[in-house]
Structure 1
Amino acid sequence: MNPDLLPNLQQPYRQFVTDYLKLLLASARRAHRHMDIADRGSIHAFRVAVRRLHTWLSIPGLLPVTDKKLLTRLKHHIKATNALRDATIHNKWLKKHGYSQRVALKPPSLPPRWKRLCRRLEASIETAAQIHEDRLNEPFSCRGASVVQSLFNEFADALLAIRGPEDIRGIHHSRILAKQLRYMLEPFAASDKQAERLMQEMVSFQDCTGMLHDLATMRDALAPAPSLRAHIEREMKSLYQIVETRHIRTREQLIRDFREWLENCDIPPPDWV
């Protein structure tokens, strides 16, 4: 997102969040208008825009009012693009490693009534903007950092809980938290180098664990020949070693980095262990 369009971080929390959500909704609407079912790039752009909007709306504690039915409908648009996205990634990997097997690329069948969903989301955001609570009048730079703190606390615990490359559920859970952290840090990262570095750590973690998830999905969905299955599992172990070396074993340093950033935001950090 263009940093020039971002609301001021010193705005009251409620105003910043609602203004930012309106920007994300406008981005999703624009991506939908420009989407061509025959163009995988435009489908991916729509998927990313909707995912960013959905993530912000679903972050715990971000807004006092969130319509779960609207979140579910928004999620359906992301899920509709999953098969095409997965097939594209799987085929790219198979081609790279010299396999002739391919997954069929089927255009997504998106749910109907996108415009109506957008109008209802807009109304929900406007409703949240009218809520009067003292805590929502704090500057976003302060209260937003508190939300980041809470998410990172969960992420740090989730890293410790991962049991190995076959712990797909644990890896997926930590990846979801990393995604929420990444998107919450984006407004700060536009003007804060320290926040940008932390955000890039989350991007790196997402990339590695995302590929792990893709390989596990390919292994389970394709019912591959034993030699291909063994190759996929070797790749999974190799990727997990990267995750373990770069992220799990460096957890304490990451905690120190987040602690330092929170202190710079005047947020007392928790006693992470």
Structure 2
Amino acid sequence: MSKQRKTKPGALPICKTANKVLWQLLSAKIHSVTVAEKVLREGGEDGLHQFRVALRRLRTLLRAYRPQFDPGMKIRGQLSTLASSTNQARDLEVLVGWIESEQVDSGISAEILATVVVNLRTLDASDPVAGVDGTAISKCWASTSKKLSKRILKAPRDASVRFNLVTSDLIKRQSDELLHYLRLIQTAEDVAENHKARIAAKRLRYILEPLRGAVEQVTPLLPLLTCLQDELGVLNDRAVFVERLEQYYRGLSTLKLARSMTQDRDPTAGDFQVDYIAGAVLQLTDRAGVERRVLFDQFHADWDSRLVNLAKQISRVAIALINDD
């Protein structure tokens, strides 16, 4: 019989039944989302980010442990709606931050960059899907969290399945998915594969995080996964920048055509000349594309040699969970 590892006080009781441990985890994640939603609702700093991360952690556990507990299609759909309602707003904030940081290196005047930012925000605000409706989010979360908590309390308890064994198998499958998508990223243009690898890394990390203190092999693995997720995220952001800027440029081209047809060519009409703004947008688009290619080359050089070590560390966690049974 394998000797059980000593766990730190307050660590997750991983050798108990899967459902019992899962209820503990889900209750904690629901509370985290509720706290983050309050910060978002009250306009607190970084409220949007806190809410998105807390919600992702909850959804990851619900997805991963669905065989042990399924809240139902309706609740899953409501959680998905909550998550998607903040996507474009987050992407815009990251894009705006990058544009503002480009002033010195790009050589584009601060005034034109400010106009680009204002126009992007205006376009985002005009999209009914893009903006963050804090009131709607609050109402949706209040209703969804209440239903989810009731489902957890009423769910049947299965004493035959141990949490550590379920989680060990889960980690193996999530690791296989992550490594599969990482191997598919061969060029800077493999945007879809990059996105899937980033999601897989994030899900694996969120599954592993609650095991800290209970499985010692998790501690050195989490920073590695965080680094991988962050680097994949930066690559994905650059692809999003190019997409959003190209969309903006197409809108400017349409506006330019409309102005030429009405012969409204007065440069003092109150806005910057469309040509100047379009030129700045093209320059920013090109810079984002170049950055992505440079970042990809760095990523490929770094992680080609680190994937074997990553796979070994994940495997050690999965084995340790089985040995704790």
Taking structure 1 as the reference length, the TM-score comes to: 0.85
The count of corresponding residues between Structure 1 and Structure 2 is 261
Structure 1 unmatched ranges of 5 or more: 268-273
Counterpart among 218, 225, 235 of residue 195 in structure 1: 218
Q: Using the TM superposition, give the Cα deviation of residue 239 of structure 1 relative to its aligned residue in structure 2, in angstroms.
A: 1.9
Question: Which amino acid in 2 is paired with 1:18?
Answer: W
| 1:253 partnered with 2:258 | no
Question: Which amino acid in 1 is paired with 2:241?
Answer: M
Could you say what the CA RMSD is over the residues aligned between the two structures, in angstroms? 2.4
CA distance in 2 between counterparts of 1:61 and 1:162 reads: 29
Q: Answer yes or no: is the 8 Å Cα contact 1:185–1:196 preserved in 2.
A: no
| 1:13 partnered with 2:18 | yes
- Identical counterparts, % of pairs: 21
Q: Answer yes or no: is the 8 Å Cα contact 1:178–1:206 preserved in 2.
A: yes
Q: Using the TM superposition, give the Cα deviation of residue 37 of structure 1 relative to its aligned residue in structure 2, in angstroms.
A: 5.7
CA distance in 1 between counterparts of 2:294 and 2:175 reads: 26
Shift in alpha-carbon separation, 1:264–1:117, aligned structure 2, 3 A: closer
Equivalent position SS for 1:35:
helix
Q: Using the TM superposition, give the Cα deviation of residue 148 of structure 1 relative to its aligned residue in structure 2, in angstroms.
A: 0.9
Counterpart among 148, 168, 174 of residue 145 in structure 1: 168
Q: Answer yes or no: is the 8 Å Cα contact 1:61–1:147 preserved in 2.
A: no
Q: Using the TM superposition, give the Cα deviation of residue 17 of structure 1 relative to its aligned residue in structure 2, in angstroms.
A: 0.8
Shift in alpha-carbon separation, 1:242–1:131, aligned structure 2, 3 A: farther
- 2:300 alignment partner in structure 1: 244
State which drifts further: 44-53 or 219-228.
219-228
Counterpart among 142, 152, 156 of residue 115 in structure 1: 142
Question: Which amino acid in 1 is paired with 2:63?
Answer: S
| 1:232 partnered with 2:288 | yes
Question: Which amino acid in 1 is paired with 2:158?
Answer: H
Shift in alpha-carbon separation, 1:248–1:59, aligned structure 2, 3 A: farther
Question: Which amino acid in 2 is paired with 1:252?
Answer: V
Question: Which amino acid in 2 is paired with 1:167?
Answer: D
- 2:207 alignment partner in structure 1: 184
| 1:157 partnered with 2:180 | yes
State which drifts further: 3-12 or 50-59.
3-12
Equivalent position SS for 1:21:
helix
Taking structure 2 as the reference length, the TM-score comes to: 0.72
Counterparts of 1:63-82 in structure 2, within 5 Å, are 63-82=68-87
Shift in alpha-carbon separation, 1:220–1:40, aligned structure 2, 3 A: farther
| 1:34 partnered with 2:39 | yes
CA distance in 2 between counterparts of 1:5 and 1:67 reads: 31
- 1:167 alignment partner in structure 2: 190
Q: Using the TM superposition, give the Cα deviation of residue 113 of structure 1 relative to its aligned residue in structure 2, in angstroms.
A: 3.3
CA distance in 1 between counterparts of 2:67 and 2:172 reads: 12
CA distance in 1 between counterparts of 2:43 and 2:66 reads: 38
